[in-house]
A and B are shown apart, each in its own frame.
Chain A
C-alpha cells in the first residue's frame, strides 16, 4: 500500500507572497523523507499541499502516480500528523485511534480489536479507555501515530511531531518512529527544523529556504557535500572563508581569500551555475576538518591567532581570530588525553585537506 509521491514544478502563492517556488521532488515508496529548513520556509505549506488542504497555484502533486488535483484530503491515501497532534479531546484513546475506521462504517467489535493491535504496536497496551488528556506528552504522540496508521495510508505525513517533547523523550521517540516506519513499510514524509533528527532518521533530506528546495540528498551527502552556501551554513557547523575563484580544475577550484589561495572541492550544484574564474565564492570547512599544522604538511594553510579554548569533555573547541574577518574560526578535536599545549593569544598555522573543504557560489547564508 506504500505509495510514491511526486511534486512537479509546484508553486504556492498566498496573494503576492510565494510560499513554494518551483518545487520538484520525487519521493520513492517506502522511503523516509525529511524536509529540513528554518521556521517559515514553507515546509508545512508543502505538506498541506500533499495532504490536500490546499491546492498548488501551479504544478502537480502526484501520489502513487495519480494526479491529486481536485481530490480532497479525505479521499487521498495520506494521513497527516499535525504539529499540535490534533487528537480529539472528547473521545477516548481507542476511539481516537479507530476514528478512520469508524467513518468507514467498520463495526465496533472489529474496531476494538484493531485498536488493541495498534496499542500493542505503540507500546500502550490496555490504555484504550483513557481520555486523551489523561496521557503524557509522549503517549499522546504515539496515539497520534497510531490514529494515522489505522487509516492505512500509503503515505504518512508528520509535521514536527516531536517538537513539543523534551529532549530525552524526543531521542527515544526518534528511534521508535524509525522502528515503526520500518515495520509498517510505508512512505514517511517528515518535517523538522532539527537537523539531527533529519540526518539520523531519513533516507533522504530536502533542505528548504524561503520556499525553494536547495538540495535533496541523503544525510551524508547533505553534510559532506552541501550544494549551496545556504545548505553548508544551515546544516551542522561550518567555518566560512570568502574569496574569488582564481582557477578551476576538474575536481577542485582555487579561491583567493584574504589569507592566501585555498584549494577546495567545487560544490555539486546540480548543473546550475557552477563556479567559473572570477566568481565570488565561499569556502566552507567543518571544525573537525581543521587541524593544527605548524609544519605546513597540508595543501591549505592559514595563519591564525588563538582566541579562546573550550573544553567539552570528549572534545576541545578552539576559536581563532583571522585577518580580515569578524567571524572566528572554530576547530574541534577529540580529547585523546594529551593536554592542550596552546595558549590564548598564541599565533599558529592551521591546515586542512582540499577534499574536506567545499567551495560554493556566494549566496544567502542561514541566519546564525
Chain B
C-alpha cells in the first residue's frame, strides 16, 4: 500500500519534471526563436528581412549598416548620452543608497517609496514631465532656446537618469547590505577622517558595484526609447533612429545590428563567466593558503593567458573569419544566379499570362482593366511571396500593403508600379 503510494508520488514527480522540461523547451523557443530568425535574416541577401525563400548567404547588410549615416550618428549620440547618464546616475544612486542606510527609521519607507517610484512610473510619463519641467524652468529664467533647458542631450540625460539612478541605487543597496559597518568604525578608530574612511574603505568595497551600476546604467540608457522619444527634441539616438526605420520600412541591416548586439552580449557573458570562475578559484586557493595546505602563489596568471579566455577568443575570431569569408566570396555569382532564376520564373509567368490572355481574347467576354485579379487563377497569389518586386505587379490593390511592409527592393526596382497588363511584355523584355 505504502510502496504503491510512494511509487505513485515518485512517478508523479517524474511526470511533473517531464512536463516542466517540455514547457521550458517551449519557453526557450519563444525566447530565442525570434532572435534566431532575425539573426538569420541578417545573412540573407534578400532585400526584405526574411528567412525563406533563401537567396544567398551574404554579409552585405553589415556593410549597409556601417554606411548608414543616420544610424551611425544615432549611435554616437547614444554613446554620448549613455556616458552622461552614467556620470549622473551612478553618483546619485550611490548617494541614494548611502542615504538609505543612515536615514531615520520612521522616514525610511517614505524615502524609499519616493526614490524607487521612477522605476514604476511609465517611461513616457517621465519623459513628458522632464520636458515640461525644464521647459518651464527655462521660461522662468528667460533663457534662450540655445540654453541647456531646451537641449535634447541635457533633457535626455536628466530624464533617463531619473529612473536609472534608482536602478543603480538598487545595485549599491545590495552590495552595502554585505558591508560590515565595523570596518568603517575600525578606520575611524585608527584615526582616519570621514572622507578618508569613505575613500579608503567604503569606496574600494563598492568598486565592483560601481562597475556593475555603470554598465547597467549605460545599457539602460542605450536601449531606452520611451523616455528618450520625448526628451530628445530635435536630436536622435540609436533607438529613435531604429524606431523610425522600423516603422517606415525595414531592411535586413537592422537584423545585422541585432546580430552584432547578440554576439557582443554572448561574448560579454562568456568573459564574465570566466572572470567569475577565476575569482572563485582564487578564493578557494587563498582559503587553502590560510589553512597552510599550499604556499601562497605570488601572482595570478593574466586574464588573457587563461585557456578558457583564449578559447573564447579563438572561437570568436574563427567564427568571424568563416562568416566573413562565406558572406563575401561567391556572393555575387550566387546573386546573379538568383536573379536569373527570378527572371526565368517571371518570364514563365508572363508567358503563361500571355497564353491565357490570348485564350481569353479568343473568348467573347473579357474585362480589360481588372481582368487579371479574377481571371488569372491561383498562380499570382501563390507567387506573391516569392519576391517583393512582383508583389504589386498583378494586383493593384496590393500596392498599399507593399508600401506598408517595406520599401521596394533595390535590385528589382525596374518592376515597380507595373500593374498595367499591357506593359507586361515590354517590361519583361527590358528585364532580360
Binding site for B on A (CB under 8 A): 51-53, 72-75, 78-80, 82-84, 86-88, 90, 99-100, 102-104, 129-131, 133-136, 147-148, 151
Say yes or no for B364: interface residue by CB 8 A criterion: no
Say yes or no for B187: interface residue by CB 8 A criterion: yes
- Besides A73-B189, A80-B189, A99-B192, 13 more A-B contacts (Cβ < 8 Å) are A73-B188, A74-B190, A74-B191, A78-B189, A86-B180, A86-B182, A86-B185, A88-B187, A99-B190, A100-B192, A133-B286, A134-B286, A151-B190
Chain A residues with Cβ below 8 Å from B182 are 82-84, 86
Q: How far is the CA of A136 from the CA of B293 in the complex (A)?
A: 11
Q: How far is the CA of A79 from the CA of B289 in the complex (A)?
A: 29
Closest beta carbon of chain B to A354's beta carbon, Å = 49
Partner of A88, one of B186, B193, B291: B186
Partner of B191, one of A86, A88, A131, A151: A151
Contacts A104-B191, A130-B296, A134-B296; A86 near B186 (Cβ below 8 A): yes
Chain A residues with Cβ below 8 Å from B187 are 88, 99, 103
A84, B190: Cβ atoms under 8 Å? Answer: no
B186, A82: Cβ atoms under 8 Å? Answer: yes
A-B contact pairs, 8 of them (CB 8 A): A51-B189, A73-B185, A84-B180, A90-B205, A99-B190, A133-B287, A148-B190, A151-B190
Closest partner residue, chain B, to A136 (CB atom): B290
Say yes or no for B375: interface residue by CB 8 A criterion: no
Q: How far is the CA of A121 from the CA of B205 in the complex (A)?
A: 29
Closest beta carbon of chain A to B237's beta carbon, Å = 38
Partner of B188, one of A74, A129, A130: A74
- Tell me what chain B mostly uses at the interface: helix, strand, loop, or mixed: helix
Closest beta carbon of chain A to B194's beta carbon, Å = 8
Chain B residues with Cβ below 8 Å from A90 are 204-205
Q: How far is the CA of A136 from the CA of B292 in the complex (A)?
A: 8
Partner of A136, one of B186, B196, B283, B291: B291
Q: How far is the CA of A87 from the CA of B182 in the complex (A)?
A: 9
Closest partner residue, chain B, to A140 (CB atom): B290
CB < 8 Å A-B pair total: 75
B192, A103: Cβ atoms under 8 Å? Answer: yes
Which residue among B191, B287, B292 has the maximum number of chain A CB atoms within 10 Å of its CB?
Answer: B191
Say yes or no for B339: interface residue by CB 8 A criterion: no
Chain B residues with Cβ below 8 Å from A134 are 286, 289-290, 296
Closest partner residue, chain A, to B288 (CB atom): A134
Q: How far is the CA of A51 from the CA of B200 in the complex (A)?
A: 21
Closest partner residue, chain A, to B186 (CB atom): A86
Closest partner residue, chain A, to B289 (CB atom): A134
Chain A residues with Cβ below 8 Å from B20 are none
Closest beta carbon of chain B to A149's beta carbon, Å = 11
Contacts A82-B185, A90-B205; A103 near B193 (Cβ below 8 A): yes
B191, A103: Cβ atoms under 8 Å? Answer: yes
Instruction: Give me the 5 closest cross-chain CB pairs, A-B, nearest first.
Output: A86-B182, A86-B186, A100-B190, A103-B192, A134-B289
Which residue among A53, A78, A90, A103 has the maximum number of chain B CB atoms within 10 Å of its CB?
Answer: A103
B290, A135: Cβ atoms under 8 Å? Answer: yes
Say yes or no for B37: interface residue by CB 8 A criterion: no
Say yes or no for B9: interface residue by CB 8 A criterion: no
Chain B residues with Cβ below 8 Å from A86 are 180, 182-183, 185-186
